[in-house]
Structure 1
Amino acid sequence: MQLSSWLRLLFALVGSVLFIDGAVLIAFKKIHIGTVLPLLLGLFFCVYAFFYYHIERFFFYHFRLHSIWRFGWLCFWIWLISLGYFFNYLAENNSETQTTPPVRAIIVLGSGVENGQPSATLAKRLDRAAPVALAQSNAKLVLTGGIDFGETQSEAEVMSSYLQQKHHIPASQILLEDKSTSTELNLQNSQPLLQAQHINIQQPIAIVTSDFHTLRAAAIARKQGYRHISMLGATTPLATRYNAWLREYFAYASGWLLDEY
């Protein structure tokens, strides 16, 4: 694989951006494949651009390894194309519904807690759910999420405090599901809470999540028996948007392998 000087420079620039992006987000405790992978890819691109001639010389004298090296690049470009298609799919299918039909319950899916406060992504979800909950005061508001690493309160408890303090949602309207650690468990563990309130999962229910996550969450919900769902997508903060989309790419794949939908 031949690289001109400008292409080497491009690799170095892209690598630097990816590395800094991953490093900054990881420093803020956002540690997942959507941040770790850019960090590693960025480091690889920078090293490859800087030591290009040494690397190519090594593979010139090791033919079998060179074949593996070229095959690895082929796999990378195929993966990158598939990632591009996935990003385009998310961009075209994000839920932008602004009105919500009458529902019996509103389920808000968790998305991380930072220092006892909702993450920026989770705050967007809560801000998306609050007007609906206030407009439909008879609908139960189910807040989902267990205890994150390094935290002392569950996501559900933090979400409840946020909604009561910022949006003045009455505690009597809120139900806490504070054990789950995934979308599948968010929805599964919410069912007994709904049943205790005489709410059937085949009745109209709104599910609030991030815009990029509505498709997968809807598929998981339908697999579990939810029938009349309204998906409400909250905008994802730009600073973490594409890292979240990258994470969702692998989440889609794992969900398919685990038969979640």
Structure 2
Amino acid sequence: MNILPLNNCIAVPKELILLGRVLLITIGSVIIVDCAILMAFGKVNFGSVVPFLLGIVFVIHGIFWHKVIAFIHQYRWLLYFWSGLWMVFFIWLVSFGIFTYVLQQQIKQSTKSVPAVAAIIVLGSGTVAGKPTPTLAKRLDTAVPLIKTQPNALVITSGGVGFQRTRSEADIMATYLHEVHGVAFRCILQEGKSTSTEENLANSRAFLEAKGLSITDPIAIVTSDFHSIRAASIARHQGYTQPLTIASPTPLSTRYNAWFREYFAFVSGWLLGEY
């Protein structure tokens, strides 16, 4: 077995280094392509830019492994810095695992029977050609059983006018609920100005108060399963004392990709003081 030195103290099999390089290039390329597609559709945010840059670092490291290692070994401080970066990465990996576990528990909790609520807020998630995206349609479909079993609950569709759009998400969502599920327009209030989850919940507060309700009442928040932790955290930060997240399912083909991006979005929200 061929052995190559990784630093002055450690010798690593050549085959293991080759495997590591292939993994770095493969994982990095997948991340780059995924995030590039997201940014091409206007989703330029912390959750897409940071993984994109991380993917570039992985690919460069994998392709130029020997040159990178040779350069690092010229400076002892750089070797410590490089080792520290990998340690930070593995700590991040553990934190992502914890986030995934907590998210799974949150999703399981949301599938339990929902007690009586004062209002049902459905959060927007994008539209295409005047129709809800598949993700948004799932949220609306998930809200319908609750709307029909709790007819006295106030229903709010929340979402503003997107880039190069003429109709608000709230309007498109209300139309979908009416045309596909037979929910009467008169039963739906449309909050059509928000552009983020934080604004969704803040702007919906005025609708609640106009109907004599309060954010201290039990409020159902319908969103995608991967988004449930962040939505609940933002709601509590804004003063919602009894937010009940109702999680709509994410297709298996995109589920873990969405969870990965949501981790960064959750960190971004924390840095921005959203919760």
Structural RMSD (CA): 2.5
Question: 1:153 aligns to what SS in structure 2?
Answer: coil
Aligned counterpart for 2:230 among listed residues 211, 216, 226:
216
Using the alignment, how far apart are the partners of 2:171 and 2:121 within structure 1?
Answer: 14
Residue in 1 aligned with 2:219?
Answer: 205
Range moving further from structure 2, 164-173 or 144-153 = 144-153
- Deviations along 1:32-86, one digit per CA (max 9) or x if unpaired, are 4444444333332222212111222222334444443333222222222212221
Using the alignment, how far apart are the partners of 1:26 and 1:86 within structure 2?
Answer: 24
Shift of 1:26: 4.1
**AA at the equivalent of 1:235:** P
Listed as ranges, the matches of 1:178-189 within 5 Å are: 178-189=192-203
2:249 is aligned with 1:235: yes
Question: 1:146 aligns to what SS in structure 2?
Answer: coil
2:144 is aligned with 1:130: yes
Using the alignment, how far apart are the partners of 1:91 and 1:171 within structure 2?
Answer: 34
Are the aligned partners of 1:144 and 1:177 in contact in 2 as well (CA < 8 Å)?
yes
- Deviations along 1:197-224, one digit per CA (max 9) or x if unpaired, are 2223333322111223323322332333
Aligned counterpart for 2:62 among listed residues 33, 41, 49:
49
Residue in 1 aligned with 2:113?
Answer: 99
Whose radius of gyration is greater, 1 or 2?
2
- Deviations along 1:161-181, one digit per CA (max 9) or x if unpaired, are 221221121100111111122
Using the alignment, how far apart are the partners of 1:251 and 1:186 within structure 2?
Answer: 16
Question: 2:157 aligns to what SS in structure 1?
Answer: strand
Unaligned residue ranges in structure 2 (runs of 5+): 1-5, 7-11
**AA at the equivalent of 1:204:** P
Residue in 1 aligned with 2:166?
Answer: 152
Shift of 1:5: 1.6
Using the alignment, how far apart are the partners of 2:46 and 2:269 within structure 1?
Answer: 15
Structure 1 residues 251 and 38, CA gap change in structure 2 (3 angstroms): closer
Are the aligned partners of 1:113 and 1:151 in contact in 2 as well (CA < 8 Å)?
no
Structure 1 residues 14 and 204, CA gap change in structure 2 (3 angstroms): closer
Question: 1:10 aligns to what SS in structure 2?
Answer: helix
Structure 1 residues 4 and 106, CA gap change in structure 2 (3 angstroms): same
Using the alignment, how far apart are the partners of 1:162 and 1:193 within structure 2?
Answer: 21
Are the aligned partners of 1:156 and 1:178 in contact in 2 as well (CA < 8 Å)?
yes
Percent same amino acid at aligned positions?
Answer: 48
Are the aligned partners of 1:120 and 1:237 in contact in 2 as well (CA < 8 Å)?
no
Using the alignment, how far apart are the partners of 2:57 and 2:47 within structure 1?
Answer: 16
Are the aligned partners of 2:47 and 2:265 in contact in 1 as well (CA < 8 Å)?
no
**AA at the equivalent of 2:257:** N
Structure 1 residues 219 and 34, CA gap change in structure 2 (3 angstroms): closer
Structure 1 residues 10 and 101, CA gap change in structure 2 (3 angstroms): same
